[in-house]
Amino acid sequence: MKFFVCDVEGTIFKAKIKIEGTDYLSTMWQSIAVALGDAAVQEEKISHEKWDNLEFDNYLEWVRATIEIHRKYGLKKDTFDALIKSAEYNEGVEEFFNELNRQDYIPVLISGGFQNLIRRAQNELDIEYGFGACEYNFDEYGYLANYSLQPSDFKGKIHFLDTLFKAFKKLNKKTDWIFVGDGKNDVDIAKQAPLAFGINPHDKLKAVNGLIEINSFMDILPYLDNALNQTKNEILNIQAGDISKNKSKKHANDEDTLKQKVFRLERDIRTLKQKLSDQKGKAEKKQHAPQISINELDYVNIPRKSLDEILKDLKVVFLGMDENSAEFLRLNNIQGLRTIPGMKNNIDTRIIQNADFLFIYKNCITHSDIWHACNGASTPPCCFLLEHSNKKLLENAMANVLYRYIYK
């Protein structure tokens, strides 16, 4: 198994806009400036000049400066959402991810762009891991209310990949990943990749030793089976005639095509069985409901659906923490989340019995304790949260766990 790591803007989605005088094609950043008018375009151009002249200390400082342009010229939610929705996939992207064998490759998106755009790709292409530099949140009037930032561009991209390797301990960073990018901000990560592809690549990315240029994501398919067992040099030495033949067929041979079809059929059957099992489990409300697993990545990975969205459809209870702690009080203000202090002798069993899902903080109580406290009555599925006092990280973790529970 390997990671299949992709940039997003210009790689997954087409980058169509390039303001005169800048060195980047853009899917979102420059498109927003154009949508906000000529004055915003001029300030965007100046920000690029400052970046090229090393006037920003780091990438996040550049992003903050760009956000201030968006605030100044009144970026609204409907404009932003329209740009997200109108972004077009690059050649072969949808077909490629439909064909990608998820038993062999784990797709990962790492971008210096918007988490909002990444979330669209995650939902439409079935990608679990996605890291973006910026996420926008808008107020009830449609104006930019707040944002969150992560250093996930240029040299920062490899650090997010390192986080995944720490979680997937059986994978080797020296051999077990592939990268696809398009821009000069992808140069650092492409240099470290065992195998790197450039789709319509920037000249500086083209110069990376061993980079394979492609015009469509479907051009990558012939390399994947070989990449599982061969080193980078062996892959690059595949005879040109064989590559051409593979490209035309889109698969190595008929046997590989059949394997892909069988894999997709088995995956669909497993998904259907799981959904039927979940529905049956909810209908029967078994006494010992399942304990859902969680890991460190759930805290840092931006969820594909926000906790607020998920809580509209589920009755979720959070059990734990001192009721007077600041963290507990902040969680208590999340609409749709019912909170109970972590006291064994003070559990409102009716709330738990009527819940669809239960989060238990820091193992303050065991699932068996809860079951016995409810006098053996049915209890909801539960998850034991790791110790994190940061409210945002706890929200990420709860949303990621609930998303897996509901949609997987």
Residues 192 and 57 in one domain: yes
Q: Is residue 40 scored above 80 in pLDDT?
A: yes
Instruction: Please give the DSSP secondary-structure letter assigned to residue 16.
Output: -
For the packed helices 77-86 and 115-125, what is the interaxial angle rounded to 10 degrees? 40
The confidence score (pLDDT) of residue 68 equals: 96
CA atoms within 13 A on the CB side of 22: 21
Cα 25 to Cα 83, 215, 300, 314, 389: the distances in Å are 15, 16, 29, 42, 40
Residues 266 and 371 in one domain: no
Cα 124 to Cα 94, 106, 129: the distances in Å are 9, 16, 13
Number of domain units in the chain? 3
The confidence score (pLDDT) of residue 119 equals: 95
- In a domain, residue 339? The reply is yes
CA 162 to centroid of chain Cα atoms: 15
Per the model's pLDDT, the better-predicted residue between 180 and 156 turns out to be: 180
- In a domain, residue 286? The reply is no
The confidence score (pLDDT) of residue 97 equals: 96
Q: How far apart are the first and last CA of the chain?
A: 20
CA 74 to centroid of chain Cα atoms: 28
The confidence score (pLDDT) of residue 284 equals: 47
Q: Is residue 248 scored above 80 in pLDDT?
A: no
Query: Which tens digit of pLDDT belongs to each residue from 282-315?
Result: 544 445 678 888 988 999 888 988 898 899 888 9
Count of other CB atoms within 10 angstroms of residue 141: 8
Lowest mean pLDDT among 97-111, 166-180, 385-399: 385-399
Q: How far apart are alpha carbons 253 and 300 in whole angstroms?
A: 40
CB 205 within 8 A of CB 189: no
Of the pLDDT bands very low, low, confident and very high (cuts 50, 70, 90), residue 23 is confident
Query: Which tens digit of pLDDT belongs to each residue from 250-259?
Result: 554 566 566 6
Residues 170 and 303 in one domain: no
Residues 44 and 180 in one domain: yes
Phi-psi region of 120 (alpha: psi -120 to 50; beta: other; left: phi over 0): alpha
The mean pLDDT of 137-155, rounded to a whole number, is: 91
Residue 6 in tokens: 């992709």
Domain range enclosing 322: 297-407
CB 5 within 8 A of CB 178: yes
Residues 93 and 55 in one domain: yes
Cα 377 to Cα 172, 292, 355, 372: the distances in Å are 46, 19, 13, 8
Lowest mean pLDDT among 24-38, 237-251, 296-310, 385-399: 237-251
Query: Which tens digit of pLDDT belongs to each residue from 322-354?
Result: 777 777 888 888 888 998 887 555 677 888 888
- In a domain, residue 324? The reply is yes
Q: Is residue 53 scored above 70 in pLDDT?
A: yes
Of the pLDDT bands very low, low, confident and very high (cuts 50, 70, 90), residue 281 is low
Q: Is residue 52 scored above 70 in pLDDT?
A: yes
26 closest CA partner among 39, 5, 11, 43: 11
The confidence score (pLDDT) of residue 388 equals: 75
- In a domain, residue 93? The reply is yes
Q: Is residue 237 scored above 70 in pLDDT?
A: no
Q: Is residue 20 scored above 70 in pLDDT?
A: yes
Query: Which tens digit of pLDDT belongs to each residue from 63-85?
Result: 999 999 999 999 999 999 999 99
Percent of the chain residues topping a pLDDT of 90 = 54
Single-letter code of the amino acid located at 281: G
CATH number for position 70: 3.40.50.1000
Q: Is residue 240 scored above 60 in pLDDT?
A: no
Residues 155 and 203 in one domain: yes
CB 87 within 8 A of CB 65: no
Residues 121 and 184 in one domain: yes
Q: Is residue 272 scored above 90 in pLDDT?
A: no
Residues 103 and 31 in one domain: yes
The mean pLDDT of 18-43, rounded to a whole number, is: 91
CA 212 to centroid of chain Cα atoms: 25
- In a domain, residue 231? The reply is yes
Q: What angle do CA 69, 117, 53 make, to 5 degrees?
A: 40
114 closest CA partner among 19, 181, 26: 26
21 closest CA partner among 12, 33, 10, 13: 33
The confidence score (pLDDT) of residue 348 equals: 74
- In a domain, residue 75? The reply is yes
Residue 157 in tokens: 């991209």
The confidence score (pLDDT) of residue 285 equals: 44
Residues 3 and 138 in one domain: yes
Average pLDDT, the chain: 85
CATH number for position 337: 3.40.50
Lowest mean pLDDT among 116-130, 200-214, 283-297: 283-297
Percent of the chain residues topping a pLDDT of 70 = 84
Residues 221 and 269 in one domain: no
The whole model's pTM is what? Answer: 0.65
Residues 245 and 258 in one domain: no
As a whole number of Å, the CA-based R_g of the chain is 24
The confidence score (pLDDT) of residue 93 equals: 96
Q: Which residues pair with 385 in a beta bridge?
A: 361
Residues 78 and 190 in one domain: yes
